[in-house]
Chains A and B, each alone.
Chain A
Amino acid sequence: MKTTRFHWGLLLLVGGLCLSTTGYAALQPTDTPATIGKESARKAPSTADHTKFKELQRSFKDGPAVTEACLQCHTEAAKQVHSTKHWTWEYLNPATTQKLGKKNVINNFCTSVSSNQTFCSACHVGYGWSDDSFDFSKESSVDCLVCHDTTGKYKKIPGLSGHPNYDRIELPPLSGKFREATDLQAIARNVGKTSRETCGTCHFYGGGGDAVKHGDLDSSLKTPKRYLDVHMDADGLNFSCGECHLSDAHQVAGSRYAPTASDKDGILMRGKDHGRNPATCQSCHGSTPHPAQHAKLNDHTDKVACQTCHIPEYARGAPSTKMTWDWSTAGRLDENGKRLQIMNSAGMVAYDSKKGDFTYDRYVIPEYVWFNGNIKYTLFGDKVDGSEMVKINEFMGGPDDPDSLIWPVKVFRGKQPYDVEHQTLAVFHTADKGDKDEAAFWSNYDWEKALEAGMATTGVPYSGKHDFVATEMSWPITHMVAPKGDALSCEQCHKENGRLKDVKGIYMPGANNTPLLDTLGFGIALLTLIGVLIHGGIRVYSARKEG
């Protein structure tokens, strides 16, 4: 490893002894982030003006019709999308052999996609996924617009199986508010590169609303200020998501299912990717990014993820993120048998008959865990103990694992149904599919019907007896990177009961973690002091007596 240390005290030594300084020369980067930033802040010029394409000079009856037009030129695009997680919602984790992806995982928000595709596929890059009969090989079912719209007017509506509304509709139903029909012609002629806004249409609203799920991804990142995210700063570097999540043939780098927790291979040079994930801090900044006068900080990078210091808090934009969700109280109705919504003092929903109790928070200090990039999920059919808190996902790693770093996480806590007899998590049918969908919990508030209908689509047996179990789910915090001046100060960890107090297996100077040695050391020092004071006292006394 190349050392970049320099101390001015060393100058004295060097001056005195004329030692060679070659090994200690400060390495200064020639490209500062500021000069790189101005380049990327410019709008990328395109060689194609889609408003002039004759294929798009027509009207479109629906989304698939637009896709067919796209595919006339972009002949391979749909095939590429078909092989992505954005399309399959499936991912086989080679490290754990667990089958993951949105289709297979359980969470402690709305708990499961299974049986709820009509609703959930509003965030699928496709059209028409309403149940297991969906044809994943059909090219025109790919939704190009959800990622490539530049107008901000394209919106897939939950309940329409991944389609936007082609007619004027009342939204939400019976609200008296109306949404105009989607202008596919205008949208199709204004496609372009993906942006924070297009990625954000799903990723900012995960869990059922703005900021709900991740904590480090919400609508405040559409046009963030510098304090919120130093890279995405709209007036500065103005990174799009794709700047880090570099994509190739529609494969977007950097997945939460198999994150790169520790990247020790230095800066990622063009042509030398060797299959590395470009969506890491280190792929641009390397493992010793701090300048010579802060060289001690580079001593931390073997144990501490960049995010731990550089994302001091999450949910630092306007919206609060959801912190807890208790499904066990859902279904309570008012005296007229109608749905209840109780607001908290901030005007946010604290109780909803459809969903139960929530709490929210802003400027949240993360929790910290050892993490090596492997996550073990509790999946359909996995045994759980109803008397104990269930980890829906468990971040693997530890102090003795060289691939582990200390990471900041949002831990989302809740209560959700489980099958008392089979001791498995139980998922349920939430959203009304229309056509007298009696089983949907949001229609009838009947847990048994909803659970039966939900579990029937998973292939896991359900006993008919449910209760609620406490669950925890962790989310890595990696966005909302603060400017360096706002990074954690040393003392936020290096003190008694500092931020990393619950992280096992580290020695933390300043945390008062050598009580025995301290008692012994200060004890002997004190005895020595008392001893010399007594000795001195006798000397003074005997001198006076003689004198």
Chain B
Amino acid sequence: MERIYIFKRFERFWHWSQALLIIFMMATGFEIHGSYRIFGFEDAVSYHTTAAWLLIGLWVFAIFWHFTTGEWKQYIPTMEKVDAMMKYYITGIFTHAPHPFRQTTLRKHNPLQRLAYLFVLLLINPLIWISGWLYLFYNDWAMVGLENLPLQWVAYAHVAGAFMMLIFFIAHVYLATAGHTATSHIKAMVTGWEEVD
């Protein structure tokens, strides 16, 4: 058994504050969508908007951090060992087979994680963000020549993005228990130190 330092302090701060904001935005967002009532529409909109601006602020720092530290390279996709990962999740994990991927500080995500996060970064986030910005700046659409854009298209995109985020969230939370032990990934995300074989 070995412990390696995977997640640096900013990264952990970024992860957990983003997690809280996204959970809160899903809670308020689906209320605005009409799925249930917690805060009331007006407050839900107000909280959702405030959380959006906070998340934007957080992201500005996170993007800056990723580029200055070179950590963005963690998201470069690879197909290497993807099949092994799939096989591990389908059978190996039940028989205590060895994990096919060994984390290092330079490769902290397994190949499936890389693909999943890249999918979030390149598809889900842009969908939510662009549609969300359009929602926020509805009155100014004419300034960028979008006055004929139907609001429902923006709404559909935003809601579809939200569903994808919800599905990602469920899978992500579950796979957080699929490390060396059920809690090793979660501990690593809190302390920075991951136990590896």
Residues of A within 8 A of B (CB): 1, 3, 5, 7-10, 12-13, 16-17, 288, 296, 298-299, 302, 489-491, 494-496, 506-507, 509-512, 514, 517-518, 520-522, 524-525, 528-529, 532, 535-536, 538-539, 542-543, 546
Q: How far is the CA of A542 from the CA of B49 in the complex (A)?
A: 45
A14 nearest CB neighbor, chain B only: B57
Knowing that A7-B49, A13-B60, A512-B34 touch, tell me 15 more A-B residue pairs with CB under 8 angstroms.
A3-B137, A5-B137, A9-B56, A13-B53, A296-B49, A490-B42, A509-B32, A510-B32, A514-B33, A521-B162, A524-B167, A532-B170, A532-B175, A536-B174, A543-B96
What's the least CB distance linking B187 to chain A, in Å?
18
The answer to whether A510 and B34 have CB atoms under 8 Å apart is: yes
A517-B159, A521-B159 known; A7-B139 Cβ under 8 A: no
Q: How far is the CA of A3 from the CA of B100 in the complex (A)?
A: 54
The answer to whether B34 and A521 have CB atoms under 8 Å apart is: no
What's the least CB distance linking A298 to chain B, in Å?
6
Q: How far is the CA of A538 from the CA of B90 in the complex (A)?
A: 11
Interface membership of chain B positions 162-175, coded 1 if the CB is closer than 8 angstroms to chain A and 0 otherwise: 11001100110011
Is there a chain A Cβ closer than 8 Å to B140's Cβ? yes
Partner-binding segment picked from B8-16, B112-120, B148-156: B148-156
What's the least CB distance linking A424 to chain B, in Å?
41
Chain A residues, Cβ within 8 Å of B45: 296, 490
Q: How far is the CA of A494 from the CA of B43 in the complex (A)?
A: 12
B53 nearest CB neighbor, chain A only: A9
Chain B residues, Cβ within 8 Å of A520: 163
The answer to whether B52 and A510 have CB atoms under 8 Å apart is: no
Considering only residues 168-189 of chain B, those with a C-beta below 8 Å from chain A are 170-171, 174-175, 177
The answer to whether A1 and B60 have CB atoms under 8 Å apart is: no
The answer to whether A16 and B163 have CB atoms under 8 Å apart is: no
Q: How far is the CA of A495 from the CA of B61 in the complex (A)?
A: 37
Chain B residues, Cβ within 8 Å of A298: 139
Question: Which of A13, A517, A522, A536 contacts B56, CB < 8 Å?
Answer: A13
Q: How far is the CA of A447 from the CA of B142 in the complex (A)?
A: 58
The answer to whether B156 and A529 have CB atoms under 8 Å apart is: no
Residues of B within 8 A of A (CB): 32-35, 40-42, 45, 49-54, 56-57, 60-61, 89, 93-96, 136-140, 142-143, 150-152, 155-156, 159-160, 162-163, 166-167, 170-171, 174-175, 177
The answer to whether B166 and A9 have CB atoms under 8 Å apart is: no
What's the least CB distance linking B57 to chain A, in Å?
4
Question: Which of A7, A296, A491, A514 contacts B155, CB < 8 Å?
Answer: A514
A9-B57, A17-B60 known; A495-B139 Cβ under 8 A: no
A507-B150, A517-B160 known; A495-B54 Cβ under 8 A: no
B43 nearest CB neighbor, chain A only: A490
Q: How far is the CA of A489 from the CA of B41 in the complex (A)?
A: 9
The answer to whether A511 and B49 have CB atoms under 8 Å apart is: no
Chain B residues, Cβ within 8 Å of A302: 139
The answer to whether B171 and A496 have CB atoms under 8 Å apart is: no
The answer to whether B33 and A525 have CB atoms under 8 Å apart is: no
The answer to whether A535 and B150 have CB atoms under 8 Å apart is: no
Question: Which of B35, B54, B151, B160 contacts A507, CB < 8 Å?
Answer: B151
Q: How far is the CA of A496 from the CA of B41 in the complex (A)?
A: 12
A298 nearest CB neighbor, chain B only: B139
The answer to whether B49 and A514 have CB atoms under 8 Å apart is: no
What's the least CB distance linking B101 to chain A, in Å?
18
The answer to whether B61 and A510 have CB atoms under 8 Å apart is: no
The answer to whether A16 and B61 have CB atoms under 8 Å apart is: yes
Q: How far is the CA of A542 from the CA of B41 in the complex (A)?
A: 46
Chain A residues, Cβ within 8 Å of B156: 514, 517
What's the least CB distance linking A40 to chain B, in Å?
31
The answer to whether B160 and A521 have CB atoms under 8 Å apart is: yes
Question: Which of A1, A8, A489, A496 contacts B143, CB < 8 Å?
Answer: A1
A and B contact pairs by CB, cutoff 8 A, 8 listed: A13-B60, A288-B139, A490-B41, A510-B34, A514-B156, A521-B166, A532-B175, A536-B177
What's the least CB distance linking B70 to chain A, in Å?
21
B174 nearest CB neighbor, chain A only: A532
Chain A residues, Cβ within 8 Å of B50: 7-9
Q: How far is the CA of A521 from the CA of B170 in the complex (A)?
A: 13
Chain A residues, Cβ within 8 Å of B61: 16
What's the least CB distance linking B102 to chain A, in Å?
21
Chain B residues, Cβ within 8 Å of A496: 34
The answer to whether B51 and A9 have CB atoms under 8 Å apart is: yes
The answer to whether B94 and A542 have CB atoms under 8 Å apart is: yes
Chain B residues, Cβ within 8 Å of A506: 151
Q: How far is the CA of A13 from the CA of B51 in the complex (A)?
A: 12
What's the least CB distance linking A31 to chain B, in Å?
23
